[in-house]
């Protein structure tokens, strides 16, 4: 979110240095994208305005009128274990991640496998703003104005074969840039790279998006730059960040969290107030930035409030068994 500043004061004086450096890099990246012909997606880069996506259409899939969480909260309270397990670690440590150039390999059971440069994906998929609730398995939530496009449109373009039943997503593996992937003090105990998965019909649901921005701006690194998944009816950990590979497969992928602790984390991970985590209740949640420790807790809604849209994906399934 850009804030008007009085003329003559350099941004470096009013912006924390790490954010400032990140912004300068966005500008260089935006310039490179513009040179690559992506003028529709990003403005010419001379000022900080280059970080803004122009002319974003509002999506009809923004199904909430709740107040979005502040930019500051969305970008300073994060889970991105590649940079440490603390909530402020990603904002403090992800700044140096190089997010340009960036490519995503789309492969497996499809007719058109290819390695796509991010700017090519952006060229083919018009961006829109989608305001979604994000509910973390740790029982907190946010409301985020994402900038992104339908995963469904990408899937249609690559033409899955009849053997494609699931979609597997993988984050960058680069311990040099991602200190949480190195054995040592920051260790989360997770197996790298981070892997997530969806059933093909879930991935084809119009609410599932690939996000490249928030609050009208390019995603800051801690939020999963340059491209991440957002699946609003599932716990936040399904929304994998900094994706480098999308693979269409026949068998259900083994996801990072299921591998780490299959008793606690299932493949589906749909938000469900009636299915508790073995160590805590999922019936209520705390809204980051809006609720204090003394506020009454909010009731968690089935499928995070998107039941009318997605419940039919799970007809006949025992959601306690397929958690």
Write down the least CB distance from residue 109 to ligand MTE, Å.
23
Task: Figure out which of the listed residues 22, 59, 76, 79 binds ligand MTE, where binding follows CB under 6 A.
Answer: 79
Helix intervals (H) in the chain: 11-14, 17-35, 71-76, 89-93, 118-124, 151-158, 200-203, 256-260, 307-310
Q: Does 101 sit behind a cis peptide bond, omega within 30 degrees of 0 on the bond before it? A: yes
Q: Could you tell me which stretch among 22-30, 74-82, 197-205, 259-267 binds ligand MTE (CB under 6 A)?
A: 74-82
**C-alpha 179 chain-centroid distance:** 20
Task: Figure out which of the listed residues 26, 53, 80, 102 binds ligand MTE, where binding follows CB under 6 A.
Answer: 80
Between 31 and 105, CB nearer to ligand MTE = 105
Task: Figure out which of the listed residues 48, 239, 245, 272 binds ligand MTE, where binding follows CB under 6 A.
Answer: 239
CA distance readout (Å), 156 to 41, 104, 124, 216, 300: 21, 16, 12, 26, 33
265 binds ligand MTE (CB under 6 A): no
Between 150 and 223, CB nearer to ligand MTE = 223
Rg (CA), the chain: 19
Task: Figure out which of the listed residues 223, 245, 269, 304 binds ligand MTE, where binding follows CB under 6 A.
Answer: 223
Q: Could you tell me which stretch among 21-29, 73-81, 102-110, 122-130 binds ligand MTE (CB under 6 A)?
A: 73-81
Could you give the CA distance from residue 209 to residue 58 in angstroms, rounded to a whole number? 14
Place of tokens 């003559």: 8
Residues 134 and 157 sit within 8 Å (Cβ to Cβ): no
Task: Figure out which of the listed residues 26, 233, 237, 265 binds ligand MTE, where binding follows CB under 6 A.
Answer: 237
Instruction: Report the interface residues with ligand MTE, using CB under 6 A.
Output: 78-82, 134, 136, 171, 194, 223-224, 236-237, 239-242
């Amino acid at each position: 979110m850009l804030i008007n500043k009085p003329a003559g004061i350099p941004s470096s004086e009013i912006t924390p240095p790490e954010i400032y450096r990140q912004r300068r890099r966005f500008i260089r990246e935006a310039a490179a994208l513009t040179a690559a012909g992506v003028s529709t997606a990003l403005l010419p880069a001379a000022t900080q305005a280059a970080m803004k996506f122009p002319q974003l259409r509002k999506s009809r899939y923004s199904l909430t009128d709740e107040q979005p969480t502040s930019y500051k909260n969305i970008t300073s309270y994060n889970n991105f274990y590649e940079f440490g397990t603390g909530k402020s670690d990603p904002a403090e440590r992800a700044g140096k991640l190089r997010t340009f150039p960036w490519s995503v390999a789309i492969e497996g059971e499809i007719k058109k496998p290819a390695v796509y440069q991010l700017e090519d994906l952006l060229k083919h998929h018009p961006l829109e703003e989608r305001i979604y609730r994000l509910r973390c398995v740790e029982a907190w939530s946010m409301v985020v104005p994402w900038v992104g496009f339908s995963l469904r449109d990408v899937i249609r373009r690559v033409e899955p074969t009849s053997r494609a039943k699931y979609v597997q997503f993988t984050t960058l593996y680069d311990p040099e840039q991602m200190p949480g992937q190195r054995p040592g003090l920051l260790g989360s105990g997770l197996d790298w790279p981070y892997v997530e998965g969806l059933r093909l019909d879930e991935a084809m649901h119009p609410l599932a998006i690939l996000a490249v921005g928030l609050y009208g701006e390019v995603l800051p690194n801690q939020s999963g730059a340059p491209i991440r998944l957002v699946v609003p009816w599932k716990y936040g950990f399904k929304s994998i960040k900094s994706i480098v590979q999308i693979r269409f497969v026949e068998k259900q992928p083994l996801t990072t969290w299921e591998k780490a602790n299959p008793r606690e984390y299932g493949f589906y991970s749909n938000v469900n107030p009636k299915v508790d985590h073995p160590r805590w209740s999922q019936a209520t949640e705390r809204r980051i930035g809006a609720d204090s420790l003394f506020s009454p807790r909010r009731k968690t809604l089935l499928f995070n409030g998107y039941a009318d849209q997605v419940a039919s994906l799970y007809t006949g399934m025992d959601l306690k068994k397929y958690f």
